[in-house]
Amino acid sequence: MERVSKRFPGTIAVDEVSFEVYAGEVHALVGENGAGKSTLMKMLAGSFDDYTGAIRINGREVKLHTPTMAKKYGIGMIYQELSLARPISIAENLLAGRLPRKGPFLDKGAIKKQARALLKRVGLDLDTDLPIEDISQHEAQLVEIAKVLGNNPCILVMDEPTSALSHEEVERLFEIIKTLKNRGISIVYISHHLPEVFRIADRVTVMRDGKKITTKPIAEITREEIVQMMVGRSVKEFYKRDERAIGGPRLVVEGLSRFGFFHDVSFEARRGEILGICGLSGAGRTELARVLVGLDRADEGRMELDGRELKGSSMADFLGQGVAYLTEDRKTEGLALRLPVDDNILAPIVDRLTAGLFYSKRRGEATVKRLIGELSIYPPDPSRPVGNLSGGNQQKVLLAKWLASEPKLLILDEPTRGVDIGAKMTIHSSIEKLAREGVAVILISSDLPELVGLSDRVMIMRKGHFTREMSFAECTEESLLLAANGEGVA
């Protein structure tokens, strides 16, 4: 790939990046969220027909404008989200689009044989007639790989392939990668997880803010150097902490359970404190948040906000008591993309803008203007539909919406997922400002530098339980990750 660029409205996602992969090499691609890794790889997969620059495969320039073209040139993609159809069988998934036939009928015998051969390549021995929904997540991940291998790719792109896998399964995946490599297949390996990168990759390319920072053989670079290049400055520098006065308890939670999701959770969040919650996906973090904000009911336990019991039958009741929840899913749950910026920001405070029978958007004009300024939302036009804004600015609007509600307790679920570094910094400083004003902030995040950098304390959540609490001093990215995985000294 030579000097390839891709623009989205308002941002350049990938800016003149040149990138090469040798045959039989594992090439790691690292960078923070929003660095442009996925966009770069989507270009390779033929997802965009409007990129600039050139892509060459084996020296020949190719145009990759559709996924079919990419497939034809031997590019295989394995995405984070599985592309398998859940109710149909493994065999049919594996051979989708090219099921062997005998005359007008499907050739059941050949299907089974070919499917088994493919499964064997990834070391799986399963009944190929089982539907995908009956096998485990990691088996499905391997089936996905087998499916892509079925197209005989010469370049294989893996996007965070280990995020859903356990330790042993990761080992198995690495074995498979080694075999593929020996067969001369080039592998692009996208990962956040640096230890993995050091184990498996031959060379590594670091990206930041849509630009390539460097490409180096793995032996010539250290972990610290990579982190530094990814972040652009060291983490401690990046999060310049200023002292906040932490006050008395604001939210007190005692023995809270929602059966099947989390059990016997107790903690308190204090005024002016940013309390991080760390855990793998599925640990029950979002489920806990949903109960704290009244979207779901608790089966056991009680919650108290400023000494008064927090209860109600709907989210509106909790909202009225001063709780706000920024959802992790900005596009479907957070914002009404078709509505303009101001309607979105004012949505939680419709009641406050209503006098008697009369609702007036104009009464909220000043609030909207102030928040657009504070969060430097671009373009600063309250009447622009939110869907036309860049991801980072959408996320700022979502935060502005909950800032408008002036909460006592703000629960943030992945507040900077998929946003560019500039928006991230704005959002972080806004969160800190909120804490300085005495709001208790609960920060749920998978972004470890973010947790380490912002939190005063971090609670580790694992399989529905709070397993550990770490003070700011104890927190490092590694210690959090180990704790979340249930390892390390307890």
Partner 1 sequence: MAKVAATTADRRTVGSSLAGRIFNVTGIYGIAILFLALGALLEATGVIHRFLTPENMLNIVNAATMVGIVAMGMAFVTYSGNFADMSVPTTMGFTGYICIALLKFGFLPALLGAVVAALLIGLLNGFVVGKLKANPIIWTLAVNYMTMGIIRLVWVNKQIYPDMQQGVGAGTVALFDDIYRYRLFGTIGLPIVILAVMVALGQFVLTKTSFGARLKLIGSSLRAAKFTGVHVERLVAAAFVLSAFAAAVAGLAVTSLTRVGAWYNGTGYDFMAVTVVVIGGVTLAGGRGSILGVLGGALIIGILNNITTLLGIGTFSQNMIRGAIFIVVVGINAKSLRSLGRDDA
Which residues are near partner 1 by CB under 8 A?
3-5, 7, 12, 16, 52-53, 294-295, 314-316, 318-319, 325, 327, 332-339, 343-344, 346-348, 350-351, 353-354, 357-361, 385, 387-388, 401
Select 138 or 311, whichever has its Cβ closest to partner 1: 311
Minimum distance from residue 346 beta carbon to partner 1 (Å): 8
Q: 59 vs 5, 22, 324, CA distance in Å?
A: 20, 11, 55
CA gap 110, 99 in Å, rounded: 9
Q: Which is closer to partner 1, CB of 155 or CB of 319?
A: 319
Determine the Cα–Cα distance for residues 488 and 490; give it in Å rounded to an integer: 6
**What distance in Å separates the CA atoms of residue 33 and residue 80, rounded to the nearest whole number?**
14
Pairing of strands 203-208, 211-217: antiparallel
Cβ closer to partner 1: 4 or 444?
A: 4
How far, CA to CA in Å, does 477 sit from each of 222, 241, 259, 322, 349? 16, 17, 30, 32, 37
Give CA–CA dist 215/376, Å, rounded.
34
Cβ proximity to partner 1, 151 vs 388, nearer residue: 388
150 or 364, CB closer to partner 1? Answer: 364
Q: Which residue lies nearer to partner 1 by CB, 245 or 316?
A: 316
Nearer to partner 1, 262 or 325 (CB): 325
- Shortest Å, Cβ 353 to partner 1: 8
State in angstroms the smallest separation of the CB of 93 from partner 1.
Answer: 29
Residue 155: which of 55, 63, 76 has the closest Cα? 76
Is residue 189 a contact partner of residue 27, using CB atoms and an 8 Å limit? Answer: yes
The distance of closest approach from Cβ of residue 331 to partner 1 in the complex, given in angstroms and rounded to an integer, is 9
Cβ proximity to partner 1: between 329 and 487 the closer is 329
Instruction: Work out how close the CB of 330 gets to partner 1 at its nearest, in angstroms, rounded to a whole number.
Output: 9
Sign for the CA dihedral angle at 331, 337, 341, 346 comes to: negative
Q: Which residues are paired to 412 by β-bridges?
A: 326, 443
In the complex, minimum distance from the CB of residue 327 to partner 1, in angstroms, rounded to a whole number: 5
The three-state secondary structure class of 293 is coil
Q: Which is nearer to partner 1, 69 or 347 (CB)?
A: 347
Pick the closer one to partner 1 by CB: 229 or 326: 326
CB of residue 318 to partner 1, shortest distance in Å: 7
Q: Nearest approach, Cβ of 324 to partner 1 (angstroms)?
A: 9
CB of 317 to partner 1, least distance (A): 8
Torsions phi, psi for 351 (to 5 deg) = -60, -40
Distance CA 415, CA 400 (A): 12
Question: Secondary structure of the chain: what % helix, strand, coil (to 5)?
Answer: 35, 25, 35
Q: Smallest gap, in angstroms, from Cβ of residue 430 to partner 1?
A: 19
Q: What are the Cα distances from residue 16, in Å, to 131, 207, 213, 382?
A: 43, 12, 11, 33
Q: Tokens 């056991």, residue?
A: 300
CA distances from residue 78 to 45, 118, 123, 140, 487 in whole angstroms, order as listed: 10, 15, 17, 12, 28
